[in-house]
Every structure is written in C-alpha cells, then in structure tokens.
C-alpha cells in the first residue's frame, strides 16, 4: 500500500511513522515539501506519490494563536483538508484525518457522542469543524477520528509542560473546571493502524470496507479528568501532588475560550471498528514507562 503521511512531525504523526510502516510504503514529506497553505505543493506531492492512503496528521494546533490568525488556521484546518479530500476522491485513495473535542462548546452534562451537534466556542474548533465538513461534502472513502487532550514525548503538550514547570516552580496552579480525556498520541497512532489494517487488501485499502465502516469516530482515552487531576497524576507521589493547586479557569485567562466539558464517548469506535483505547490513567502509566518520555525533551 502506498501511504502518504502528512504531518509526520506532529505528536500523532511521529508515532504513525512506526505504526503505519508494516502496512506499506510510507512517504512522509517534510513541511518544506508539502505545505498545507500551498495548493500547488499539496497537488504535486499527492499526485506524485499516487497515494492509496492519505493520512493527515498535520494541523494548525495553536489554539490561542488561532484567535488572531484566523486566515491561516482556516486555510490549514479547513481549505487544505477539502483539497486533500478532493485529491483522494480523484485518485481513488482513502483519507484518514483527525479532528478535535474542541468542536464542542462544553455545555453538555455527559460525554459527547458523534451525533451531538458541534458548537465550537473558539477559532481553532471552528476551523477543525470546517475541515470535517469539507471531507463530508466531497465524501471520499474516509475516517475522521476526533481525539482530545493529546500528549506524548515530543512537541508541545500538557505532560511536558507540567514536568518542566515542576522543576522550575514550587507551586503549580492548574485549572480544575475543564474536563476531558487525556490521550497518549501513541495509542491513537496504534488504533489508526488497526483500523487501516482492517480495510487492507493486497491491492491497497478496500473502498468497500470504507463504504461500510468509514465516517466519523470519537477516539479518546476512556474515563475523564480535569487538567488539575491530570497534573497531579503526571507528577505522582504525595510530594508532587501536594504542589499542584486547583484554580478556576477565570484565574487563568487565555485568548481562546475552552469548553468546560469536552469528554468524548468513544464507544462507537469500539462497537463498529472493534477499537478501544484504555482508561486515561493506563495510557499515562504506559507513556511514563516509555523510554522516549523518560529521556525525551522536557
């Protein structure tokens, strides 16, 4: 299978390099070769690789910066995704794409399912929702995985930030009124490969499989927690936990508003794809055991 992996330097993309490798030949262009802001570069690379599977793990993920950089976020998270969908359809490829819990506004009392109406409250969420819509409009064989609170050994994420701050500050103030599902990027990449493997034939991914099983899925860790509890779990031990102080979001103003509740119900993926991620605490323990995280940049 000829696989085009876009965003191979993102948290999820880095892990996808390894998990997709057994499924075929992975072409992972640098951003300098494929820039989602350049239609020409998208067309050149997608057509040049004659990809049978396009996996888009790149995005404009700077949630706060997006508030004042609406055009770039819209081009990368919305327009470029539409072009990828058109190219997938034109070339007979299948498309795997990631979206976010931030398509939801946070007012629901319980976990969000795929049938809940999105109502984003920040620019990032709006642009990611636009990307989802563009894929559905063009409708190539596709999977959209909405995931949440992604962390891992590389890049910018909450786990690495908390570990760094814990070395620099005696007390860490962390918001305790936003609830979600922290999800280790490696587990997302492994689940993605599992899903793709189900569709694989000797000739490549089977469009008929996507006809039956494709669409939108929530793919996040089970259970839920707050950033405050997540920070305490990251630091572990009585001493580490005692240094974390709970504050309301009002005491930590950010340019972009965040949903109070963005817990994803991922049971559809379990029912229809046979894929389930473990509880967030299990994911965190596995991640903490991993050599890359122990020795990685922090």
Ligand X SMILES: NC(=O)c1ccc[n+]([C@@H]2O[C@H](COP(=O)([O-])OP(=O)(O)OC[C@H]3O[C@@H](n4cnc5c(N)ncnc54)[C@H](OP(=O)(O)O)[C@@H]3O)[C@@H](O)[C@H]2O)c1
Q: Is 93 in the site for ligand X (CB under 6 A)?
A: no
CB 23 within 8 A of CB 4: no
Least Å distance, CB 92 to ligand X, is 24
Nearest Cα to 227, choosing from 179, 296, 194?
179
Strands 179-180 and 225-226: antiparallel
Closest approach of Cβ 208 to ligand X, in Å?
A: 27
- Examine residue 217 and tell whether it contacts ligand X (CB under 6 A): no
Among the listed residues 19, 20, 54, 60, the single contact to ligand X using CB under 6 A: 60
Quick one: which segment of 8-16, 160-168, 211-219, 250-258 binds ligand X (CB under 6 A)? 8-16
Considering beta carbons, is residue 35 or 64 the nearer one to ligand X? 35
C-alpha span between 192 and 85 (Å, rounded): 18
Say whether residue 224 binds ligand X (CB under 6 A).
no
Active-site position among 98, 124, 217, 228: 124
Q: Is 148 in the site for ligand X (CB under 6 A)?
A: yes
Instruction: Assess 180 for contact with ligand X (CB under 6 A).
Output: no
Residue 277: which residues within 8 A CB-CB, separation 6 or more?
Answer: 183, 187, 188, 191, 219, 220, 221, 222, 266, 283
- Please state the closest distance from residue 127 (CB atom) to ligand X, in A: 9
Q: In the complex, what is the shortest distance from the CB of residue 170 to ligand X, in angstroms, rounded to a whole number?
A: 27
Nearer to ligand X, 36 or 244 (CB): 36
Within 260-279, which residues bind ligand X (CB under 6 A)?
none
**9 sits near ligand X (criterion: CB under 6 A):** yes
Binding residue for ligand X, selected from 100, 179, 224, 225, defined by CB under 6 A:
100
Candidates 87, 106, 142, 149; binder of ligand X (CB under 6 A) is: 149
122 binds ligand X (CB under 6 A): no
Which residues, in sequence order, are CB contacts of 221 under 8 Å at separation 6+? 181, 182, 183, 184, 187, 277, 278, 279, 280, 282, 283
57 CB contacts (<8 Å, ≥6 apart)? Answer: 5, 6, 7, 8, 10, 12, 13, 16, 98
Q: Rule CB under 6 A: is residue 11 a binding residue for ligand X?
A: yes
Instruction: Label residue 248 exposed, middle or buried (CB < 10 Å: 0-12, 13-18, 19+).
Output: exposed
Reply yes or no on whether 112 is catalytic: no
In the bound state, the residue with its beta carbon closest to ligand X is 10
CA distances from 18 to 1, 88, 285, 294 (A): 15, 23, 21, 19
Comparison of 1 and 96: residue with beta carbon closer to ligand X: 96
**One residue of 2, 17, 24, 31 binding ligand X per CB under 6 A:** 31
Q: How far is the CB of 135 from ligand X (least distance, A)?
A: 12
Least distance between ligand X and beta carbon 223 (Å)? 16
Active site residues: 124
């Amino acid at each position: 299978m000829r696989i085009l992996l876009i965003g191979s330097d993102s948290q999820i993309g880095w892990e996808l390099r390894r998990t997709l490798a057994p499924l075929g030949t992975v072409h992972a262009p640098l951003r300098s070769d494929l820039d989602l802001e350049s239609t020409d570069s998208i067309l050149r690379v997608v057509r040049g690789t004659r990809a049978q599977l396009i996996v888009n793990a790149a995005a404009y993920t700077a949630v706060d910066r997006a508030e004042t950089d609406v055009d770039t976020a819209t081009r990368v998270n919305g327009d470029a995704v539409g072009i990828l969908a058109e190219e997938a359809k034109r070339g007979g490829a299948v498309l795997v794409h990631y979206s976010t819990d931030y398509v939801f506004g946070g007012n629901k009392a319980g976990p969000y399912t795929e049938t809940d109406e999105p109502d984003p409250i920040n620019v990032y969420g709006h642009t990611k929702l636009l990307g989802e819509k563009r894929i559905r409009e063009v409708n190539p064989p596709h999977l959209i995985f909405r995931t949440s609170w992604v962390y891992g050994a590389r890049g910018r994420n909450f786990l690495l930030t908390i570990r760094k701050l814990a070395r620099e500050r005696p007390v860490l103030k962390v918001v305790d009124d936003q609830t979600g599902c922290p999800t280790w990027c490696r587990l997302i990449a492994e689940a993605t490969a599992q899903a793709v493997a189900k569709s694989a034939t000797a000739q490549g991914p089977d469009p008929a499989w996507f006809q039956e099983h494709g669409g939108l899925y929530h793919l996040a860790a089970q259970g839920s927690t707050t950033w405050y509890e997540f920070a305490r779990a990251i630091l572990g031990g009585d001493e580490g936990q005692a240094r974390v102080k709970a504050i309301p979001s009002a005491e930590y103003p950010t340019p972009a508003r965040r949903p109070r509740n963005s817990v994803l119900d991922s049971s559809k993926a379990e029912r229809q794809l046979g894929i389930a991620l473990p509880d967030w605490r299990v994911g965190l323990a596995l991640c903490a055991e991993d050599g890359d995280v122990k020795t990685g940049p922090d």
